[in-house]
Amino acid sequence: MVTLMKLESMKIKSNNIRRLFQLPILLIAFSLSSSPSIAASSSPKLILQITVDQLRGDMITRYSGMAGERLGKGGLRYLLDKGIVYKNAHHAHANTETIVGHTTLATGAHPSEHGMIGNIWFDRSKGNTIYNIEDPNYSLLSKGADVDSSTEIDPTQKAASSDGRSPAAILTTTFSDELSLLTAGKSKVFGVSVKDRGAVSMAGHTGKAFWFSKASQEFVTSNYYYEKYPQWVIDWNAKKLPEQYAGKSWQLMHPQETYLFGDRDDQKWELALGDYGRTFPHKFGASDEKYFSTYLTVSPAGDELTVDFAKAIINAEQLGNDDVTDYLSVSLSATDYVGHFFGPSSLESEDNILQLDRTLADLLNFVDKQVGLKNTLIVLSADHGAPEAPGYLQSLGVKVGYISPDFWRKLPAIEKIKRHHGIKGKLFEGYEHPYLYFTNEVINNNEIDLAALEAAVADQLIRLPGVSTAVSSVALTQGRLADNYVTRAIKNNYHPKRSGNVYVVFDSGWFVNELDGISVASTHGSPWPYDTFVPIIFAGHKLKPQTVSRKVYTVDVAPTLASIVGAKPPSGASGTVLLEVLK
């Protein structure tokens, strides 16, 4: 059988990859079923997986009112009232970033297995930092739709050396892959998001992924998925829907005095990019201005566009219109961007949640008309939670602060360590959150005791203000660390070919406030509960409402979906099936 690792290295087109990926499974899929039908009659016609980027587990109820009175009827209220709600759900890995959480939800595996240990990492074989899903073998179908100049909103993409995108770096199967394998490729599988990594990770190796290009103001894809755009994509992009926001603003849904943060619209720690400002209304400007599409994605408009494109997928591809279970992932990014700009405790975040509710209601209403919610299994979760902005915590008297890893290499203690180990050149290749990487020259020097060197550096970092712990990778792999919540989360994040030499955990509430020189209000990426705490809600498909308070994990989602349709768990999955959903 051709393995994923072999597929990763093969320079072949995606249709050949899918054939190789599917053929060996056909006999297995049929042998596991007592019925000759592709999908059991009890299986949903459509699985709709909604991932809200940076939706901390308490944010829905925090802004919905004491009895949910601020919500509409068909969105979040439907999920909360009609779904199975897990109130104590967490990610179990340490680096709570976008690609890590999305891929964990998709695979049921920890980063140690699926390999996506961060939004970026240092590739020792290539000698440079890479962006998680970049792949120069598969370029964008659209000319001029590569990463644009407004990377202030997503500076991690600066690490990408090409516009090519594919799921090749994901080292295990996803649930959507297993659904394709089970049905001999008959299931239609799609992923859509403003973020490329939000779409690609969930669509897996066998599905189709689309994401929003801020440069061209279109939804785009790469030639991993298609040789040319389907006509319906061309037609959707031709409508130029982003331009309908030109000259308009992000306005509050309700009177400002009715908001929890209505009296705090202008907080000094919030980011004011260009003319967008820190206060309502936030003006989008003209469609040809540099930051126009960036402003759209830092507002409910980004989610509205994503949902409109998702509806086009459902219509054009006829999802859920036969007896074979189809899959659609919709990853909504506005909550994350708004959180970075303004923090989760802000008038902007509060209004965004209420508008998210309206956007979800629009999507679910459309699905109900096209497929029927009773025929659709919905699962909503998040790729990570969110920290409070340090400025907000400081305003309440909490002592927190910021850290600058760029200065670590200049510390006198580090120079002393270098002299002790006979290192004359560079010791650090760089810090790519959350890993500190040593140079290849240091690692490959047999005269250097790498374990002792890592331990010495980790010991010095722990002494710095704002650093909670620093973990040597050698010590981690040799089991020489205390077994606690944090070290287990770090171990779940460790991949030998991609992780750095020292994993650094900042104190609760502390973080790096600059991403490639751009200051932000707050950013996630820690193992602390504010970053790991996310919602998990299953709804639709005749499920009975229930609230579950026991602790569950995001790795449980993919095995649960696999069990529902009768597929085997994804190849790296370690989660357990959530029995309430099966009942």
Start-end of H helices in 188-328: 196-203, 231-238, 292-297, 300-317
The Cα–Cα gap between 194 and 191 comes to 11
Mean pLDDT of the chain: 91
Token reading at 376: 């659709």
The CATH class given to the 4-29+45-392+528-582 domain equals alpha beta
The Cα–Cα gap between 279 and 264 comes to 9
* Residue bearing the bigger pLDDT, 40 or 52: 52
Start-end of H helices in 371-411: 390-395
Q: At what angle do helices 300-317 and 334-342 cross, to 10 degrees?
A: 170
Burial profile 496-528: b = 16 or more Cβ within 10 angstroms, e = fewer: eebbbbbbbbbbbbbbbbebeeeebbbbbbbbb
Span 327-349, pLDDT tens digits: 999 999 999 999 999 999 999 99
Span 165-188, pLDDT tens digits: 999 999 999 999 999 999 999 999
Is residue 217 over pLDDT 80?
yes
Residue 142's φ and ψ, nearest 5 degrees, are: -95, 130
Using CA atoms, how far residue 394 sits from 67, 390, 466, in Å, is: 30, 6, 14
Span 427-486, pLDDT tens digits: 999 999 999 999 999 999 999 999 999 999 999 999 999 999 999 999 999 999 999 999
Span 380-401, pLDDT tens digits: 999 999 999 999 999 999 999 8
pLDDT at position 27: 31
Residue 514 pLDDT class (50, 70, 90 cuts): low
Residue 514's φ and ψ, nearest 5 degrees, are: -130, 130
* Residue bearing the bigger pLDDT, 104 or 272: 104
pTM for this structure?
0.92
Taking alpha carbons only, the member of 14, 9, 7 closest to residue 228 is 14
Residue 153 pLDDT class (50, 70, 90 cuts): low
Mean pLDDT of 276-294: 97
**Domain ranges within the chain, ordered by starting residue:** 4-29+45-392+528-582, 405-507
CATH architecture of 405-507: 2-Layer Sandwich (3.30)
Residue 93 pLDDT class (50, 70, 90 cuts): very high
According to DSSP, the residues that pair with 377 across neighbouring strands are 47, 540
Residue 246 pLDDT class (50, 70, 90 cuts): very high
The Cα–Cα gap between 46 and 66 comes to 33
Is residue 500 over pLDDT 80?
yes
pLDDT at position 156: 77
